[in-house]
């Protein structure tokens, strides 16, 4: 698939000033300035994360009301129900808040809605459960900001709500005792990009202070917060970066019993990174809600016994294996549908439907299809008497707006810029497919249909030293808005030793001004022919370390290549 190369530009004056202040490589200063690190003080804070950089929790609107209501519940011996979503952010949020409260108060329980029986967010079934079991306070976490009617219903049952959420609020807010959400218009909290678990963490930080507890009483959950940040794809900046930095440190040194069990089953050995959490740990947590009941993900994280934790982890591992088989099979079937219809191959959207597909994996399948056919994609299946499914977008295109424009054909829909869910009557399927294709065709810029590679800087091979690489490692943890630097080197020459390995990967050997580097391009065997031309090449890559016989050397992790102009 052809890709667009976007080499970022930077304010040269700021780069020069930062280089004079830091006395490090100019290319690295260039990348730092792109990330808003344009002074010595900002660089110091960036390279040396500290728990002192965490913001004061009391700056969050309604924090005083939330803490006061929880302490009132403690003093009056009433029951608290922690209510959360079934994904990674939701289950880690519930585990964090529940564990903290349970350590300080007896009458606490938790509730995770069933994905298929109750759907996303606060549910009537959850509120009825609270009423039947005499809970007077529900703390919703990673959901609730849009649950105006359900929270009003809870009020009629004499149940109060504290809402801890990070999703964008509507104009009308629920009638809760307190709403903790930094995205509220009148909230002065200095950082707006916390995930749900991050908001819960700020609540227990404030509670710990009010209860005169040691900092460790809330810091012990920072590895769960880091897992949520990694999985929820929020920016790794400011407070999220501090929480992730110390969370990853804890994952590697003294992890939560549940995380430890998941790491063991994923066969991860040492130096766990954010990408390990995203690609190895998070899918096992998510699989519980996709294939069965996410309650066991919370039970895993609140379990202190290693043996029992491993039993829960094995349940999640089985769910994940079933999830993987389902998404592999459905992806193959969906690709076959597209490839068998010449008309579908030339559209600007992909919409595929099969009534027998598993509802829990259609979102993953949509993402898989985009890897082959890069365009806004919807995968649908049958659920009760409706057709329902998940939509995924491509970079830069507002999927939610496109679906909203087709709302006349839908029973229900919701989501955001990059992902959405929807349901419709079977008789409206063809009408919706045509309307969605028309809307996307009329609004999408043609460039967006070509995948973009963001390149942070051009670099010469002579700059690529171990010291250069060591500074890059200090930029970790990487993630949205603090991605691992991507480099381009121009007019490099193949040494003649590049080759295909294991039939699908590309082992490269290239030089620039007599400086040699080797590298690996995973699943890039189809690019080998470019190297065979023996002409100057432009290569795009990240830097990596290769260890062989106890010796470490820099290697290039190839992303793309083309002939030099």
pLDDT in tens, 400-422: 999 999 999 999 887 778 888 89
User: Hey, how many other C-beta atoms are within 10 angstroms of the C-beta on 38?
Assistant: 20
What pLDDT, on the 0 to 100 scale, is given for residue 167? 87
Are 169 and 265 in a shared domain?
Answer: yes
What pLDDT, on the 0 to 100 scale, is given for residue 385? 87
Helices (H), 254-388: 257-265, 274-276, 282-291, 295-302, 306-339, 342-345, 362-372
Residue 503 falls inside a structural domain: yes
Helices (H), 105-256: 124-132, 148-156, 196-210, 216-219, 222-232, 238-253
* 319 band by pLDDT with thresholds 50, 70 and 90: confident
Q: How many structural domains is the chain composed of?
A: 3
DSSP state of 482: B
Sheet holding 160-164, edge to edge: 108-111, 79-84, 135-141, 160-164, 178-180
Last residue of one domain, picked from the residues 317, 352, 383: 317
Residue 17 falls inside a structural domain: no
Last residue of one domain, picked from the residues 256, 283, 317: 317
What pLDDT, on the 0 to 100 scale, is given for residue 443? 96
* 12 band by pLDDT with thresholds 50, 70 and 90: very high
Domain that holds residue 274: 57-317
* 533 band by pLDDT with thresholds 50, 70 and 90: confident
Gap between the Cα atoms of 62 and 56, Å rounded: 13
When pLDDT is averaged across residues 76-96 and rounded to a whole number, the result is 94
* 271 band by pLDDT with thresholds 50, 70 and 90: confident
What pLDDT, on the 0 to 100 scale, is given for residue 341? 83
Provide the b/e sequence for 319-358 (b: ≥16 CB within 10 Å).
bbebbeebbeebbeebbeebeeeeeeeebbbbbbbeeebb
What pLDDT, on the 0 to 100 scale, is given for residue 191? 97
Render pLDDT for 331-374 as a digit per residue (tens, 0 to 9): 999 999 999 887 877 899 999 999 999 988 999 999 999 999 99
Gap between the Cα atoms of 284 and 280, Å rounded: 7
Residue 226 falls inside a structural domain: yes
Are 301 and 381 in a shared domain?
Answer: no
Gap between the Cα atoms of 322 and 316, Å rounded: 10
What pLDDT, on the 0 to 100 scale, is given for residue 59? 98
Is the predicted pLDDT of residue 56 greater than 80, yes or no?
yes
- In angstroms, the Cα distances linking 194 to 58, 178, 286, 301 are 15, 17, 20, 20
Last residue of one domain, picked from the residues 421, 449, 477: 449
Is the predicted pLDDT of residue 253 greater than 90, yes or no?
yes
Are 177 and 311 in a shared domain?
Answer: yes
Classify the phi-psi angles of 208: left when phi > 0, otherwise alpha if psi is within -120 to 50, otherwise beta. alpha
What pLDDT, on the 0 to 100 scale, is given for residue 544? 92
Angle among Cα 414, 415, 417 to the nearest 5 degrees reads 140
* 382 band by pLDDT with thresholds 50, 70 and 90: very high
CATH of the domain at 445: 3.10.310.30
Are 100 and 243 in a shared domain?
Answer: yes
CATH of the domain at 286: 3.90.1640.30
Are 220 and 255 in a shared domain?
Answer: yes
When pLDDT is averaged across residues 521-528 and rounded to a whole number, the result is 93
Written as six digits, the tokens of 73 are: 């519940």
What pLDDT, on the 0 to 100 scale, is given for residue 228? 94
Residue 273 falls inside a structural domain: yes
Nearest partner of 115 among 277, 327, 293, judged by Cα: 293
What residue has token string 């699908």? 504
Is the predicted pLDDT of residue 115 greater than 80, yes or no?
no
Gap between the Cα atoms of 239 and 474, Å rounded: 17
Write down the mean pLDDT value for the chain: 93
In sequence order, which residues have a C-beta less than 8 Å from that of residue 231 and are 6 or more positions away? Answer: 87, 88, 89, 277, 278, 282, 285, 286
Residue 476 falls inside a structural domain: no
Residue pair 139/74 in contact (Cβ under 8 Å)? The answer is: no
Are 496 and 412 in a shared domain?
Answer: no
Gap between the Cα atoms of 342 and 241, Å rounded: 46
When pLDDT is averaged across residues 526-539 and rounded to a whole number, the result is 92
Are 121 and 227 in a shared domain?
Answer: yes
* 285 band by pLDDT with thresholds 50, 70 and 90: confident
Name the more confident of 558 and 317: 558
Written as six digits, the tokens of 128 are: 């009825």
Is the predicted pLDDT of residue 17 greater than 90, yes or no?
yes
User: Hey, how many other C-beta atoms are within 10 angstroms of the C-beta on 281?
Assistant: 24
Are 194 and 249 in a shared domain?
Answer: yes
Residue 222 falls inside a structural domain: yes
What pLDDT, on the 0 to 100 scale, is given for residue 534? 85
In sequence order, which residues have a C-beta less than 8 Å from that of residue 539 and are 6 or more positions away? Answer: 488, 489, 492, 508, 510, 519, 556, 558, 560, 561
CATH of the domain at 543: 2.40.50.110
What pLDDT, on the 0 to 100 scale, is given for residue 546? 87
Are 299 and 353 in a shared domain?
Answer: no
Are 304 and 359 in a shared domain?
Answer: no
Nearest partner of 145 among 114, 119, 170, judged by Cα: 170
Are 287 and 359 in a shared domain?
Answer: no
Residue 454 falls inside a structural domain: no
- In angstroms, the Cα distances linking 309 to 259, 291, 353, 533 are 9, 19, 38, 55
Are 126 and 267 in a shared domain?
Answer: yes
Residue 209 falls inside a structural domain: yes
What pLDDT, on the 0 to 100 scale, is given for residue 235? 92
Render pLDDT for 117-139 as a digit per residue (tens, 0 to 9): 877 789 999 999 999 999 999 99
Is the predicted pLDDT of residue 189 greater than 80, yes or no?
yes
């Amino acid at each position: 698939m052809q890709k667009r190369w976007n080499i970022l530009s930077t304010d040269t004056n700021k780069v020069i000033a930062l280089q004079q202040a830091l006395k490090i490589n100019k290319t690295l200063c260039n990348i730092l300035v792109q990330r808003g690190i344009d002074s010595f003080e900002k660089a110091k804070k960036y390279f040396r994360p500290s728990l002192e950089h965490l913001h004061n929790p009391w700056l969050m609107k309604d924090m005083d009301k939330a803490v006061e209501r929880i302490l009132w519940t403690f003093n009056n011996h009433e029951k608290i129900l922690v209510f959360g979503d079934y994904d990674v952010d939701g289950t880690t949020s519930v585990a964090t808040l529940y564990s903290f409260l349970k350590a300080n108060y007896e009458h606490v329980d938790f509730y995770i809605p069933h994905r298929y029986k109750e759907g996303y967010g606060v549910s009537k079934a959850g509120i009825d459960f609270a009423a039947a079991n005499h809970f007077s306070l529900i703390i919703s976490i990673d959901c609730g900001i849009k649950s105006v009617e359900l929270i009003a219903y809870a009020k009629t049952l004499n149940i109060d709500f504290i809402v801890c959420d990070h999703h964008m609020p509507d104009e009308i807010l629920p009638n809760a005792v307190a709403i903790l959400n930094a995205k509220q218009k009148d909230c002065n909290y200095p950082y707006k990009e916390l995930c749900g678990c991050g908001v819960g963490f700020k609540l227990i930080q404030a509670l710990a202070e009010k209860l005169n507890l040691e900092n460790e009483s809330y810091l012990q959950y920072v590895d769960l917060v880091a897992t949520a940040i990694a999985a929820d794809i929020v920016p790794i900046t400011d407070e999220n970066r501090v929480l992730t930095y110390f969370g990853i440190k804890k994952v590697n040194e003294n992890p939560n019993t549940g995380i430890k069990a998941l790491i063991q089953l994923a066969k991860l050995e040492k130096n766990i990174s954010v990408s390990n959490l995203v690609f190895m740990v998070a899918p096992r947590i998510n699989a519980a809600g996709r294939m069965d009941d996410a309650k066991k993900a919370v039970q895993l994280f609140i379990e202190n016994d290693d043996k029992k934790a491993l039993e829960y982890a094995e349940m999640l591992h089985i769910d994940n294996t079933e999830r993987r088989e389902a998404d592999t099979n459905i992806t193959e079937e969906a690709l076959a549908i597209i490839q068998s219809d010449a008309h579908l191959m030339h559209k600007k959207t992909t919409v595929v439907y099969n009534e027998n597909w598993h509802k829990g994996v259609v979102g993953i399948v949509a993402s898989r299809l985009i890897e082959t056919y890069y365009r806004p994609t919807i995968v649908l299946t049958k659920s009760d008497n409706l057709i329902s499914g998940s939509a995924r977008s491509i970079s830069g295109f507002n999927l939610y707006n496109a679906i909203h424009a087709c709302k006349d054909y839908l029973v229900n829909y919701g989501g955001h810029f990059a992902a959405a869910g929807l349901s419709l009557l079977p008789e409206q399927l063809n009408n919706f497919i045509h309307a969605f294709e028309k809307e996307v065709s009329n609004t999408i810029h043609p460039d967006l249909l070509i995948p973009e590679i963001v390149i942070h800087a051009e670099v010469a091979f002579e700059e690529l030293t171990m010291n250069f690489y060591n500074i890059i490692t200090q930029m970790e943890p990487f993630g949205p808005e603090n991605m691992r630097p991507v480099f381009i080197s121009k007019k490099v020459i193949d040494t003649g030793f590049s080759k295909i390995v294991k039939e699908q990967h590309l082992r490269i050997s290239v030089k620039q001004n007599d400086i040699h580097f080797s590298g690996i391009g995973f699943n890039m065997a189809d690019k080998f022919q470019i190297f065979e031309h023996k002409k100057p090449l432009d290569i795009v890559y990240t830097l990596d370390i290769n260890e062989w016989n106890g010796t470490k050397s820099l290697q290039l992790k190839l992303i793309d290549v083309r002939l030099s102009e």
